[in-house]
Amino acid sequence: MTAAQPGATAVKQAIQWTLRLRESGHDLALQQQCAQWRSARHEHELAWQRVTYLQQDLDLRAIPGAGVALRTLETSQRRLQRRQALKLLGGVAMIGTTAWLGKDLEMVSDWASDYATNTGERRSYALPDGSLMQLNTRSAVDLAFNDRQRLVRLKQGELMITCSQASNAQRPLLIQTRDGLLEGFEGRFVARQDSDCTRVSVSHGRLAIHRPGNGQLQWIEAGEDWRLDAQGAQRLEHVDMDAMAWSEGLIVTRDMRLFDFLAQVSRYRHGYLGCSDEIADLRLSGVFRLEDPERLLQLLPQTLPVRLLQRTRWWVRVEQQA
């Protein structure tokens, strides 16, 4: 069972109402309109509650484009229909707002999952068969253990499993990901679901990918990294990040693009984190601690010709040094 999540349209509308009420909060007619919108659908109320929760420490008006969008809306409403005006608001302000807020909403840990972690959280669990499972930030899994199999369903995020096959030879350890079915044997491995693929790494032991259709196995040996997607399985000859380091609270990079590095750091914090196109291809190598992502970001200008543009604690952009 999956907990209900508001769609992108409902999230955008909730942010629109929040901006308008902040600008004209004493307008009783506007308050009534907002109340009617919230009561019209359960999804609207859910989106409203999530946006209200996530913006407790956030001034939405500090986000670039929000003030302009409000003025655009007020001007447009005098000469356009309300629906057209809201489209203008969505096009101006929500590009910078829904993009990062929607990410947090979509990645809220599924309370219906057997095991889950929140943003920035890493946890370890002993499974019923004695295996050790570690979950990285924003991850959720379900278990289905019975007399025939041990099944772990990775619903989102990233897991590491350390397992032994010795006492469970008759019950294979299966890991179901969005892009393929894995079978673990004695050893340690990581599986991470990205937006476009699943990445799999084995530190020791071996892992098998069940090929759909023919029943054959694709073996992954210790020290190998693979990518699984709709096109199949492909071994990666070069990786720019240690796939296991997060279990020790670290990001270890090897000639990694700054854009990709920030994408990884953003998994451990709330809000928007990005960079300008001019510096996206700068390269970064080093060992970085995950315990304090904000402090980690402060280190970037010490190693790269960049500066941090910070509107709020929720909105940070890395730009070229002036």
Q: Is residue 240 domain-resident?
A: no
Q: Return the higher-pLDDT residue of 90 and 306.
A: 306
Indicate if 285 and 176 belong to the same structural domain: no
Q: Return the higher-pLDDT residue of 282 and 211.
A: 282
| Domain end (from 186, 201, 235) | 235
Express each pLDDT in 103-144 by its tens digit.
Answer: 544 444 445 688 988 889 999 999 988 899 999 999 999 999
Indicate if 164 and 121 belong to the same structural domain: yes
Tell me the two tokens of residue 170. 């008759």
Overall average pLDDT of the 193-203 stretch? 95
pLDDT at 4: 56
Partners of 95 in the β-ladder: none
What b/e string do you get for 42-65 counting C-beta neighbours within 10 Å, with b at 16 or more?
ebbbbbbebbeebbeebebeebbb
| Domain end (from 235, 258, 280) | 235
pLDDT at 16: 81
Q: Is residue 301 domain-resident?
A: yes
Indicate if 231 and 138 belong to the same structural domain: yes
Indicate if 48 and 142 belong to the same structural domain: no
| Domain end (from 213, 235, 257) | 235
CATH of the domain at 176: 2.60.120.1440
Q: Is it the case that residue 3 has pLDDT exceeding 90?
A: no
Q: Is it the case that residue 214 has pLDDT exceeding 90?
A: no
Indicate if 135 and 99 belong to the same structural domain: no
Q: Is residue 205 domain-resident?
A: yes
Overall average pLDDT of the 272-288 stretch? 95
pLDDT at 167: 55
Express each pLDDT in 41-83 by its tens digit.
Answer: 888 888 887 776 555 444 444 444 444 444 444 444 444 344 4
Q: Is it the case that residue 6 has pLDDT exceeding 80?
A: no
Query: How far is it, in rounded angstroms, from Cα 178 to Cα 182?
Result: 11
DSSP state of 164: -
Indicate if 231 and 263 belong to the same structural domain: no
pTM of this structure? 0.69
Domain that includes residue 190, residue range: 115-235
Q: Is it the case that residue 186 has pLDDT exceeding 50?
A: yes
Q: Is it the case that residue 177 has pLDDT exceeding 50?
A: yes
Whether residue 56 contacts residue 18, with contact meaning beta carbons closer than 8 Å, is answered with no
Tell me the two tokens of residue 64. 């670039």
| Residue carrying the six token digits 């790269």 | 304
pLDDT at 92: 41
Partners of 174 in the β-ladder: 151, 183
Number of independent structural domains in the chain: 3
pLDDT at 220: 94
Whether residue 139 contacts residue 125, with contact meaning beta carbons closer than 8 Å, is answered with no
Indicate if 229 and 273 belong to the same structural domain: no
Indicate if 100 and 172 belong to the same structural domain: no
Q: Is residue 72 domain-resident?
A: yes
pLDDT at 153: 96
Express each pLDDT in 221-236 by its tens digit.
Answer: 999 999 999 888 999 9
